[in-house]
Structure 1
Amino acid sequence: MSTNNKNENVLQETLIVLFYFFLIALVVTAVSACGSSSQSNSPSQPVAVPDSQGGGAPLPEEQEDFTLVSEVILSATGATSASETYASIESVFGEGSIEAPDLFAGDHTSTPHILEETDSVVGPHFVFLAHRDDDFNKGDQSDRQRNEIKTYDKSDDEVLGFEGETMQFEWYFYVASDMSLTSKFSHFFQLKARNDSEDNSNGNDDQPVITLSAVEKDSSGKELQVRHSVGFNSDGSRTSDVYLVRANWSDIADEWVKVFVQATFAEEGHFIMQITRVGDGATIIDINETNIDMWRGVSDEDFIRPKWGIYRSTAEVNKLRQQEERVKFADFVIRKGTL
């Protein structure tokens, strides 16, 4: 056989071997893409948590059919100064969207009340602080204290809910089992109305439409509650809140949970809330209320807005401990969409 023929055979065999290696590589890549999505829990990398569209309890049909129109995200960056943290919040929710005691004259101005920390579960997150003897309500020394962030009339329309709109809200949430509570209220999330009326013609904006709260019950200990209010009656008398769910505080305490809310803002609206533990994926709260009154507006200028943080009664101050309380939040997401 000539030297040229030998070289041609060697070349052909080499090309065949390379071709088979290429096919094997394609198969391995395809199997990896279709296989498990588990990730490392090493301290250097936050654990990946399934989003609201996957895992956990079966999803309501309305959630599955949600078509995204807009999405706004507020995430901590690990900033070490309060000025950076406050600036990042206001860059998303609008200037004046922070109601922290250190921002109001006559209140607890000597220390920042929203900090940033990082852990191995959710990564960078916000820490909201409350101090029993020092914090007030936007400078007002009343029977309550407030440290919240919100959207409001100076925020972009993408983070405000107008009549007939459907919105989703998502965030991660952490509370400690030893946090002190009273028989009054401690709110961590609110959907509040802006109602351009003083005559209670459609409720009013005094009472939140929805609250995620906690109380200390004398008989059963600490309780997590989701409440719904229809506002005041037309004669000015106050209505009672309706409990959509009452759960054990211990079901969420000392662990990160993910909260998902979907709301359609209408007189006969729709409200969904799911709270899922990050660690084991257990669903703690699963609410799906149809034909629920989710609207208080009387004009095209009215809207519903979210609030997060610590807003609590101090009427039973002796039940609150002097130690600084810390409530953590991460990765706020606000979406608008259609069903």
Structure 2
Amino acid sequence: MKKNFLFTSNFILFFQVITSQVVLEANGPGNTYELINSVLANPNRDIVEVPDCNHASFGRHIDEVFDNELNKNVFQFHIHVTPDNDRCKVGVDDRQRNEIKTYGDSPENLKADEGETVQYKWKFRLSDNFKPSSSFTHIHQIKSVDGPYASIPMVSFTLRKSNPDRLELRHTSTTNQTTLKSANLDLFRGNWVSVVETIKFSNSGTYSLEIKNIATNQTILSYTNNSIDNWQDGASFARPKWGIYRSLNNQQDLQDETVKFADFSIEENPSTLSLEADIDIKTLKEKAENILLYPNPSSKEVEFKNANSDNYNAIEMYDYSGRKISIENKLNKDKLDVSQLSKGLYFIVFKKDTITAKVLKCYVK
């Protein structure tokens, strides 16, 4: 059952990758780390940051359960006041971490480059009596990779013990974090909420956030800024993180916690923004419907039959793992040289601005 699902989810994933969206959904108990890695990384890389080796008797600190409120499988992230620490690091006893992320070798559309707009969506549920640290308890971060400011998250959802306890939306483009907006933590405790976060990664960027109570559809935290520095200088890319990362400075304030997450989505240049370009998507896709590849499969050259360049202005190619293949020197008008590619299945994507008009399977023999 599990193996069949993974095959199906892989097929769905590759379709989503080439349309610039990747979705990670729980599919039931077992193989949780493997599922996460298969979507956010690759089978040979582990991007799950857990304290398992420091607490082997508990087992895996991320698992999957069926949730009756959402009527589907969800992820559970566990953290224990003791003996969990930060990824089993020796001598690190002032904080603890249980997170998932993307990383340098993830598919390109899972990493945010300067100038890109990315929309992140997910759901989460705190326990009914969740107790945050007075220092920090992060459940989401956008972090830069490389550069002098990489150690501090550019954006974070920080849960904080206060009067009242609150969730803070925190931001910095350097090292001086500020709170952009906050909400009473009682609005989150015991409730499933949905998050839509849209970021234009630029020194002159934009940021919007909407968090809703799923049961009532009430917006409990929203924020919009159309002129904000969303790029830490020196960064090679930015990436998301989700989970539990908290300070242990005041352990007496804390307890063992479980946070549930569901339906992670990463989408570059979301179509809701592209509509502003006033492009008729239905007409665009109808015009591209007749595009064919010939011969297919091929070992030398593939021709795009019935391809009208007025209906697309970019062609992209991806392999079966979702990795983007450079075709800059292989494309000549309506013909693509595939002679140097390894045997296998590829995807050719015809795009008009940021909208995918047509996706075709290309077999190289």
Task: Give the TM-score normalised by the residue count of structure 2.
Answer: 0.65
1:261-313 Cα offsets, whole Å, 9 max, x none, are: 000000011111100000010001111112111111436xx111000000000
SS for the counterpart of 1:221 is coil
Give how far 1:337 is off.
1.0
SS for the counterpart of 1:139 is coil
Matches within 5 A, 1:1-339: 69-78=19-28, 80-81=29-30, 84-94=31-41, 95-102=45-52, 105=53, 107-110=54-57, 111-122=59-70, 123-140=72-89, 141-195=92-146, 197=147, 200=148, 204-217=149-162, 220-232=163-175, 239=176, 241-298=177-234, 302-321=236-255, 324-337=256-269, 339=273
SS for the counterpart of 2:38 is helix
1:215-244 Cα offsets, whole Å, 9 max, x none, are: 111xx2211111001223xxxxxx2x2111
CA distance in 1, matches of 2:19, 2:230: 20
Gap regions ≥5 residues in structure 1: 1-67, 233-238
Give how far 1:114 is off.
0.3
Give how far 1:253 is off.
1.2
Percent identity over paired residues: 34
Look up the equivalent residue of 1:70 and give its one-letter code: S
Gap regions ≥5 residues in structure 2: 1-17, 274-365
What residue number does 1:9 align with?
A: none
CA distance in 2, matches of 1:87, 1:335: 22
Q: Are the equivalent residues in 1 in contact too, given 2:130–2:189 (CA < 8 A)?
A: no
CA distance in 1, matches of 2:55, 2:173: 33
After superposing on structure 2, the runs of 4+ consecutive aligned residues of structure 1 that deviate more than 6 Å are none
SS for the counterpart of 2:165 is strand
CA distance in 1, matches of 2:174, 2:51: 27
Structure number with higher strand proportion: 2
SS for the counterpart of 1:245 is strand
Task: Give the TM-score normalised by the residue count of structure 1.
Answer: 0.70
Question: Of the two, which has the highest radius of gyration?
Answer: 1
Q: Are the equivalent residues in 2 in contact too, given 1:73–1:332 (CA < 8 A)?
A: yes
CA distance in 1, matches of 2:174, 2:251: 27
CA distance in 2, matches of 1:190, 1:330: 16
What residue number does 2:350 align with?
A: none
CA distance in 2, matches of 1:152, 1:109: 25
Q: Are the equivalent residues in 2 in contact too, given 1:185–1:215 (CA < 8 A)?
A: yes
